Amino acid sequence: MTAWLIALPALVVGTVVVRAVVRRRGQSAVRLMLGFNAALVVVALSVFGVVLATSTPPAEASVPVATAPVAADVPAQDTTELSESGWSARSAALLGASIAVAGCGIGAAIGVAYTGAAALAAISERPEIFGRAMVIVGLAEGIAIYGLIVGIILIGQS
């Protein structure tokens, strides 16, 4: 959260600068920014790959310690073992759940954009089909609910 609070002013200033450059230079500025974004993605992916390749699990988390129970009310220790790359099954399930929710959210947004625009155009011509048009838009919104359900199931399975 602190990183976002620190980065927020830089994002706002960057957005203002980008808009000013695009207004003055037009297509050449858009090409320049697309090239910069592509380079930034390549650098970020290479840094991610290096960090992922060199990460090792903590020594105390990779070897479960057997302890004798002292009392009945003492909570059990987490014995989740990390794999060689440092990923546990729980972190993989959380990553899968986040991908499912994000992907379905984006898909639902695209579906609602198209069906909502078509529904508004149809309602403006024939107001009596309002109910049927909203049902179609609601079906597109259901995609996001499916992704949320899959995400909840994945988190529950981990």
Domain 87-158 matching CATH 1.20.20.10: the answer reads: yes
What phi-psi label fits residue 26: left (phi over 0), alpha (psi between -120 and 50 degrees) or beta? left
Domains in the chain: boundaries: 1-57, 87-158
Q: If 0-12 CB within 10 Å is exposed, 13-18 middle and 19+ buried, where does residue 147 land?
A: buried
What's CA 104's distance to the chain center, in Å?
10
Q: What is the pLDDT of residues 23-79, one digit of tens each?
A: 877 777 778 777 877 888 888 888 888 877 776 655 554 555 555 555 555 555 555
Q: If 0-12 CB within 10 Å is exposed, 13-18 middle and 19+ buried, where does residue 141 land?
A: middle
How would residue 135 be classed by pLDDT, with cut points 50, 70 and 90?
A: very high
Q: Over the chain, what is the mean pLDDT?
A: 78
Q: At what angle do helices 27-54 and 2-25 cross, to 10 degrees?
A: 150
Q: What is the pLDDT of residues 85-121, one digit of tens each?
A: 556 777 778 888 888 899 899 999 999 999 999 999 9
Q: At what angle do helices 89-125 and 130-157 cross, to 10 degrees?
A: 180
0.85 exceeded by the pTM? no
* Core vs surface per residue 84-105: b (16+ CB within 10 A) or e: eebebeeeebeebbeebbeebe
